[in-house]
Chain A
Amino acid sequence: MKLAIIDYGAGNLRSVVKAFEFIGQECVITSSKTEIDSCEGIVLPGVGAFREAVNRLKEASLWDVLKNEAEKGKALFGICLGMQLLFDESSEFGITEGLKLIKGTVDNINTGGLPLKIPHIGWNTLCFNKKSPLYDGIENGTYVYFVHSFSAKTDAENVTAFTDYGVCTVASAEKKNILGTQFHPEKSGDKGLKILKNFCNMVEHDNFTCD
């Protein structure tokens, strides 16, 4: 089984690749349609701004490739901004359309008037909402590493875990073969590596039970 790590100039690409390599998962950094086609799963990393990422993916002719592959049923795992891109649209620097693979929007973290530090940076706990093989062997309350200023808003049925930052924030979303984490599993120590391993197992065994 091979994973395609989508190369569109995202800053944290190498960290993601190194984490997969560390757990013994074969992966390839690519922006080639043919190569993506030959992989069993796709990972969409990302840090930075939503619109910039959309533009870069479109310039590299990757936008439709991602949409088509995902709609055909191939596993697509978005990390941080990569997860946000899975939704309908984002309001960061004006409305920008997303991949529309999971219903929902991306907006400023709603602090609800609380004096919260933004960006939300650091280790916060997972609060499970819906069972997913992504969290096999991971306990409710496990700390994972977040860095973000925007967050997803979607129906609870698409959310596998929330995190509590004074306000309830989506930590991970999943709809059949489409999934994403707002946090960085590749920076979340051993637990994060376990989550990446779980994703590999899901791809390997075509185990996408979260609908």
Chain B
Amino acid sequence: MLAKRIIPCLDIDGGRVVKGTNFIQLRDVGDPTAIAKEYNAQGADEIVFLDITASSEERGTLLDVIERTASEVFLPVTVGGGIRTTDDIKDILRVGADKISINSAAVKDRTLISRAADMFGSQCVVVAIDVKRVPAKTDCNGVYPTDLGTDINDFHVVIHGGRTDTGINAVEWAKTVEKLGAGEILLTSMDTDGVKKGYDLEITKIIADSVSIPVIASGGCGCLEDFYDVFTQTDASAALVASLFHFGELSVPQVKQYLKEREIPVR
């Protein structure tokens, strides 16, 4: 039976993990490869590197990090952040990443998704969708569509870390990226991200039910129950976690044990 995946995400700036971790056994807490190795040992199912490097000169450092990681960690590695062209994608895959994740660039030019899928295969194209709840428009009688059970317009795609509302309906966008050849969707709710009160179950459920490609839930995980909820109340295939693991509030084995005891299939 297919296992639900637990995926640690590392923010990388200039080749270093930004927030660091508190893995006391690591000599260099900022080294992405060392941290990825530690997560591998803990039983993480994949690793995501999110490059937040602002300057393009430092892209080479990222490629070096991926290459070193791919030589020592034999898990699927996804790399996202700042990818704009198929050449960017080629560079990242060539040094050993398995998948790339595109976000803003896909919104600005949706053909990037289809071109990437054609050139490298859908299996390596993850489209990251950041969503934000927006007030639903009322109809002429002042009735919210949500009251009528048609709440799908309540979520918009946002870019630039949530600062820009594109006005695009999130569910429609998810269906579109699937048609264009995305192999997976990484769905982050900007409303729940960083709040640690749990994943946004509503939008995760709606989107996972609207597409037939796997959806990775992201944003808001704060405790063990949040993993259970996202896997039982939505059809998410995986759960992404950032700081919660880095600072040891929870560990991968702890999460897996908890889910196993509650009959959620995990590796």
Contact = CB atoms under 8 A, between A and B. Distances in A.
Interface in B166-199: 183-184
Contacts, number: 92
Given A118-B212, A121-B184, A143-B3, A15 B121 contact: no
Nearest to A19: B74
Contacts of A164: 1
A119 B72 contact: no
B242 to A, nearest CB: 20
Contacts of B214: 117, 119, 121-122
B123 A121 contact: yes
B71 A48 contact: no
Contact of B45 (A15, A49, A122): A122
A73 interface: no
Interface residues of A, number: 37
B96 interface: yes
Residue of A15, A164, A186 with most chain B CB atoms under a 10 A cut-off: A15
B124 A11 contact: yes
B123 A14 contact: no
A24 to B, nearest CB: 13
B221 interface: no
A194 to B, nearest CB: 11
B114 to A, nearest CB: 14
A119 B3 contact: no
A122 B238 contact: yes
Contact of B3 (A14, A124, A187, A188): A124
Interface stretch (A59-67, A132-140, A145-153): A145-153
A18 interface: yes
B21 interface: no
A164 B1 CA distance: 5
Contacts of B212: 115-118
Nearest to A148: B123
B214 to A, nearest CB: 5
Interface string B79-100: 0000000000000011110100
A164 to B, nearest CB: 6
Contact of A14 (B1, B72, B94, B184): B94
Contacts of B72: 22
Interface residues of B, number: 31
Grouping DSSP codes into helix (H, G, I), strand (E, B) and loop, the A interface class, with mixed when no group exceeds half, is mixed
B121 A49 contact: yes
A123 B122 contact: no
B237 interface: yes
B132 interface: no
Given A122-B5, A187-B75, A192-B74, A14 B124 contact: no
A39 to B, nearest CB: 22
Contacts of B255: none
B120 A11 contact: yes
B98 A187 contact: yes
Nearest to A111: B212
B237 A121 contact: yes
Contact of A11 (B76, B121, B183, B238): B121
B40 interface: yes
Interface in A90-108: none
A37 B235 CA distance: 49
A28 interface: no
A149 B213 CA distance: 10
A193 B71 CA distance: 12
Q: 10 closest Cβ contacts across the A-B interface?
A: A48-B121, A143-B267, A123-B3, A123-B267, A147-B123, A117-B214, A124-B2, A18-B71, A14-B96, A187-B76
19 contacts: A14-B94, A15-B96, A15-B98, A18-B96, A47-B121, A117-B214, A119-B122, A121-B184, A122-B45, A123-B2, A123-B45, A143-B267, A186-B74, A187-B75, A187-B76, A188-B74, A189-B40, A189-B74, A193-B74
Interface of A: 11-12, 14-15, 18-19, 21-22, 47-49, 115-125, 143, 145, 147-149, 164-165, 184, 186-190, 192-193
Given A147-B123, A189-B40, 17 more contacts: A11-B121, A11-B124, A15-B70, A18-B70, A48-B120, A115-B212, A117-B212, A117-B237, A118-B212, A119-B213, A122-B2, A143-B267, A149-B122, A164-B1, A187-B74, A187-B98, A188-B74
